[in-house]
């Protein structure tokens, strides 16, 4: 059976490598994305590189593509993360109280446990505000520098995970309870979809940010698109933060959300 | 830059094989984190800074923690 699996892996691998040989060279100016197809006008990369600055006033083209030109795609990526979190809830989360877990809490708060926590606890107390500040910077500055909702959300979620790892899960859950992270995950998607629907109510298409200038009170469509991208990124960040912490909390405590690792 | 790429690609293959071969699942998840950081270096070198950032945050940071949390609650030794 093992040899059969190895054979299957080798066959698939060689087929993939054979497929790669058909790709254009890395960074090639003549690839369909960069050079365009003959007789079809400017290529899509050219349009993005030349028009993004004037159309959206966003220097980071990657964010503009992600949140504006392909906003629909990114919205459902966020929904995928949300669905993954909900699936983990459905599979692992248990809703009953067990006797065993309560004994473990008393063991944990013994003198020995407290001694170990001084170094780790102090380090985390200094480190966590810096991590969270950096995460907020990554979210807020996502359309000017590398970063954005996904990365910032993961870093913000990781800071809560660090609280759970350094102390116990209950300390982290006091700051970020189950009720809070589940509703935060929903609010994030609502913000994203809300920006899309708002555009529709104002007479545009779904996720057409240009028409939002009447609501956002900006001068001109480009700034409205830039601000909407920030709003959408904040929605993504909320969902990702909440789901990352929810997944950790469920995995670490076998779904009981009590004293994890 | 060619040499840099080759070194990283060789290290990638080594870490990928090691992560499969190692019996201790905790070390396997740490090696997986190293793999993510190496590939993150590769993205950064190609100029895809956004992808590299995501790889560093998700691949090397959070998913390593998820794997360790899972190993902690299941069994540490791999059976095959």
The pTM for the full model equals: 0.85
> Which of A26, A148, A161 minimises the CB distance to B65?
A161
Query: At B28, which helix (H) or strand (E)?
Result: helix B25-46
Q: From chain B, pick out residues whose CB is under 8 angstroms from the CB of A252.
A: 69, 72-73
Domain ranges, residue A161: 71-90+115-256
Residue B79: pLDDT over 80: no
**Mean pLDDT value across chain A:** 85
Query: Mean of the pLDDT values across residues A210-229?
Result: 85
Residues 136-195 of A with CB under 8 A from B: 138, 146-148, 150-151, 154-155, 157-158, 161, 165
Q: From chain A, pick out residues whose CB is under 8 angstroms from the CB of B46.
A: 26
Domain boundaries of chain B, sorted by first residue:
2-73
> Which of A26, A60, A247 minimises the CB distance to B66?
A247
Number of domains chain A is built from:
1
Q: Name the pLDDT band for A260 (thresholds 50, 70, 90).
A: low
Q: What is the predicted pLDDT for the residue at A127?
A: 92
- pLDDT, tens only, A99-139: 555 555 554 544 445 556 788 888 888 999 999 999 999 99
Q: What is the predicted pLDDT for the residue at B40?
A: 93
**Mean pLDDT value across chain B:** 89
CB–CB contact B57 A154 (8 Å)? yes
Q: From chain A, pick out residues whose CB is under 8 angstroms from the CB of B69.
A: 248, 251-252, 260-261
Q: From chain A, pick out residues whose CB is under 8 angstroms from the CB of B65.
A: 158, 161, 165, 248
Determine what percent of chain B is predicted with pLDDT higher than 70: 99
């Amino acid at each position: 059976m093992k040899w059969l699996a190895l054979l299957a892996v080798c066959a698939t691998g060689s087929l993939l490598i054979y497929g790669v040989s058909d790709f254009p060279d890395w960074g090639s100016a003549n690839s369909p994305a960069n050079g365009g197809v003959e007789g079809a006008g400017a290529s899509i990369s050219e349009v993005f590189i030349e028009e993004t600055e004037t159309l959206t006033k966003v220097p980071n083209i990657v964010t503009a593509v992600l949140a504006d030109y392909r906003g629909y795609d990114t919205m459902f990526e966020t929904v995928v993360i949300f669905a993954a979190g909900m699936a983990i809830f459905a599979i692992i989360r248990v809703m009953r109280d067990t006797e065993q877990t309560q004994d473990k809490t008393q063991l944990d708060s013994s003198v020995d446990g407290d001694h170990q926590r001084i170094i780790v606890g102090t380090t985390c107390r200094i480190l966590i505000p810096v991590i969270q500040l950096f995460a907020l910077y990554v979210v807020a500055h996502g359309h000017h520098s590398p970063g954005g909702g996904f990365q910032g959300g993961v870093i913000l979620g990781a800071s809560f995970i660090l609280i759970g790892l350094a102390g116990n899960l209950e300390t982290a859950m006091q700051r970020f309870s189950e009720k809070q992270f589940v509703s935060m995950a929903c609010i994030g998607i609502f913000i994203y979809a809300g920006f899309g629907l708002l555009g529709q109510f104002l007479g545009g298409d779904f996720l057409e940010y240009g028409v939002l200038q009447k609501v956002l009170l900006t001068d001109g469509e480009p700034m409205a698109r830039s601000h909407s991208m920030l709003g959408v990124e904040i929605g993504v960040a909320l969902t990702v933060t909440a789901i990352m912490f929810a997944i950790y909390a469920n995995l670490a405590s076998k779904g009981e959300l009590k004293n994890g690792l | 830059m060619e040499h840099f790429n080759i070194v990283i690609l060789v290290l990638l293959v080594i870490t990928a094989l090691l992560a499969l071969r190692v019996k201790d699942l905790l070390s396997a998840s740490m090696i997986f984190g190293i793999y993510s950081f190496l590939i993150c270096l590769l993205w950064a070198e190609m100029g895809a800074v956004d992808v590299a950032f995501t790889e560093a945050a998700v691949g090397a940071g959070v998913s390593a923690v998820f794997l360790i949390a899972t190993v902690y609650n299941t069994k540490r030794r791999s059976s095959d």
